[in-house]
Amino acid sequence: MTHNTPLSPRPLRRHSDVTRRVLTAAQLRAQGVTAAETNEQCRPGGPWQQILPGVFLLHPGPPTSEERLHAVLSYAARSAFRETPAAVAGVPAQPNADEPRPAPRYSDAVITGLAALTLHGFSSAPPLPSLDSIDVLVPRMRRLRTMGCVRIVRTPVMPTPSYVTGLPVAPVPRALADAVAELSDAGAVRRLLTEAVRGGHAEPAAVVRELTQARLLSRPHVVDAVETLLAEGRAIAEDHLYRMVRAYALPDPVWNVDLRLPGGPHLGGLDAYWPEQAVAVELDTRAPRQEDDALWSEYARKREMLERLGITVVHITPKKLRDSLEQQATVVRTALMAACDRDPAAYVVVVPR
């Protein structure tokens, strides 16, 4: 074949969107384009280009961000763009540009890291065009190499992806862990973790769990960022608790207090306490641990001691306050209403924290 030999126009005339501009060698073969024809189209100055091994961009200019993402997934996935039989059998002489086309399906490949955070809407993550590489999660046993704009991240267990503009994207906690693993800038790490919580993208506990599993908490700048993350998470949870009391017309409690027995030991701190009903609310903002959770043991010990004194303790997580505020208000209201049916609680001293 010479450079002047025309190529069948079939593939070119169908590729009017990104799923038609980025194709693998297998997909081109399925549409009747031979390897020789593909190589001819990808010659220097030709109309196509090979963007990654086995992945082709069907125009000569630089790829868009969307095209890069599809190319990365096409390279890393076990299979991509599973077509209906009619779509691969042939192309009509005059294709309809509005013809429905199956959404791309990528098996065992998920966008993660900074690219995933950008897709999730993080303002502190860099724009896609500025990323030199795009992280993609694949199963540990896959035989793939980091190549071009693809950085392969292996994992023993693939996460259940979210879908952003039809692309499989790692959940925010996992994407954060993969991004933080590559960042040495303490400020950038802190901004990402803070935005995850402040923007409602993830619960602090879920983020810390992923950072722990990735063994990143041995890095001082990550530990510092996690402390900021947990403080931010507690502040948001406290704000939700205040809002719950106001919005659902609960009686005003005393806020952020310590309880003590008269002349006796310290019983522990509480986020809200109704002295007349002897009902307490405690926010469960613990960071997850891989081993025995000493802090949970402390929570349980305090709760047992208070309940022996006749004080009802309601534990609420930040996630429950965020997702089911009315339900949590009902739980607290029920505990307050049940106070009249209980024996009077022991007298305790209430002091501000």
**Tens digits of per-residue pLDDT, 77-127?**
975 444 333 333 233 333 333 444 444 578 899 999 999 999 999 999 999
Phi, psi of 255 (to 5 degrees): -100, 145
Q: Six-digit token pair at 230?
A: 């947990």
C-alpha count within 13 angstroms, C-beta hemisphere, residue 62: 4
The tokens for 273 are 């306490």
Residue 141 has pLDDT above 80, yes or no: yes
13, 28, 170: which is closest to 106 by C-alpha?
170
pLDDT class of 288 with cuts at 50, 70, 90:
low
Six token digits for residue 5: 């030999």
Helices (H), the chain: 10-14, 18-21, 25-30, 35-41, 65-76, 85-89, 113-119, 172-180, 186-198, 204-213, 220-247, 294-308, 318-323, 325-337
pLDDT-derived band at 158, boundaries 50, 70, 90: very high
Hey, which CATH number is domain 249-352, 3.40.960.10, 1.40.20.10, 1.10.1740.10, 3.40.50.720? 3.40.960.10
Confirm if 115 and 149 have CB atoms less than 8 A apart.
Answer: no
Which pLDDT band, with edges at 50, 70 and 90, does 285 fall under?
confident
Among 127-131, 142-146, 261-265, 293-297, the range with the most confident prediction by mean pLDDT is: 127-131
Q: What is the pLDDT of residue 120?
A: 97
Calculate what percentage of the chain has a pLDDT beyond 90: 64
3-state secondary structure of 213: helix
Q: Is 60 in a helix, a strand, or coil?
A: coil
The pLDDT value recorded for residue 264 is: 77
Sequence-separated contacts (24+) of 226-231 with Cβ below 8 Å: 226/193, 226/287, 228/190, 228/193, 228/194, 229/193, 229/194, 229/196, 229/197, 229/204, 230/204, 230/285, 230/287
Two structure tokens written together for 144: 């793939």
Please give the structure tokens belonging to residue 289.
């641990």
- What pLDDT score does 89 carry? 28
Residue 215 has pLDDT above 90, yes or no: yes
Closest CA to 204 of 181, 236, 180, 175: 236
Quote the Cα angle for 118-135-163, to 5°. 55
Average pLDDT over residues 344-350: 90
pLDDT tens column, 249-261: 999 999 999 999 9
Q: Residue 79's pLDDT is what?
A: 58
In the chain, domain spans:
1-104, 108-247, 249-352
Dist CA 106 CA 75 (whole Å): 10
Provide the pLDDT for residue 85: 33
pLDDT band at 265 (very low <50, low <70, confident <90, very high): confident
Confidence grade of residue 340 (pLDDT, cut at 50, 70, 90): confident
Q: Map residue 257 onto helix, strand or coil.
A: strand
What pLDDT band is residue 293 in, cutting at 50, 70 and 90? low
Q: What is the reported pLDDT for 296?
A: 59
Q: Is the pLDDT of residue 343 over 60?
A: yes
For residues 85 and 163, the model is more confident at: 163
| pLDDT value of residue 17 | 67
Which residue do the tokens 């089911």 mark? 324
Residue 333 has what pLDDT? 96
Q: Indicate if the pLDDT at residue 7 is higher than 50.
A: no
Is the confidence at residue 290, as pLDDT, over 70? no
- The mean of the pLDDT values for the chain is 85
Is residue 62 very low, low, confident or very high in pLDDT (cuts 50, 70, 90)? very high
Share of the chain above pLDDT 70, in %: 84
Q: In whole angstroms, what is the distance from residue 309 CA to residue 279 CA?
A: 11
**Residue that the structure tokens 């709760």 belong to:** 303
The pLDDT of residue 164? 93
In this prediction, residues 307-312 reach a mean pLDDT of: 92
Q: What is the mean pLDDT of residues 259-277?
A: 91
d(CA 132, CA 148) in angstroms, rounded, equals 9
